[in-house]
């Protein structure tokens, strides 16, 4: 979190139950790995940002956006992120902090 977005290491993580695998061939450096590495485990987390935190992206990233669930889901490339992790995080947030309509 700190390296990629400048989020302090003491920010509260929300551990998700979603676990997936990404094929090793999707990583440029996979040619340097052991030949018996076929998949990379993918764990998913959310993070609760403390008040006043400013996102500071690493050189590997060019932008970030705060989006409603439906818009964010349309932008994600991997099904494991879109269909599993984002959905689970949204469900957890909605159950813990339901949106009030009145």
Q: Where are the domains of the chain?
A: 2-96
**Which CATH number does 2-96 carry?**
3.90.79.10
Instruction: Please report, rounded to a whole number, the percentage of residues in the chain having pLDDT higher than 90.
Output: 44
pLDDT category at 49 given cuts 50, 70, 90 is confident
Q: Are 45 and 18 in contact (CB under 8 A)?
A: no
Share the mean pLDDT of the chain: 87
Q: Return the number of other C-beta atoms located less than 10 Å from residue 86's C-beta.
A: 20
Is the pLDDT confidence value at 73 over 50? yes
State yes or no: pLDDT of 71 exceeds 90: yes
- Rounded to an integer, the average pLDDT of 27-56 is 91
d(CA 71, CA 60): 23
Cα separations in angstroms, 62 against 2, 15, 35, 65, 76: 16, 26, 32, 11, 16
pLDDT interval class at 100 (50, 70, 90): very low
């Amino acid at each position: 979190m700190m390296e990629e977005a400048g989020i302090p290491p003491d920010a509260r993580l929300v551990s998700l139950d979603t676990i997936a695998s990404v094929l090793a061939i999707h990583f440029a450096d996979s040619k340097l790995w052991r030949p018996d590495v076929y998949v990379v485990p993918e764990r998913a987390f959310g993070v609760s940002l403390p008040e006043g935190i400013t996102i500071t992206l690493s050189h590997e990233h060019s932008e970030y956006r705060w989006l409603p669930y439906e818009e964010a889901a349309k932008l994600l490339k991997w099904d494991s992120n879109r269909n599993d992790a984002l959905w689970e995080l949204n469900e957890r947030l909605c159950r813990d902090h339901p949106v009030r309509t009145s």
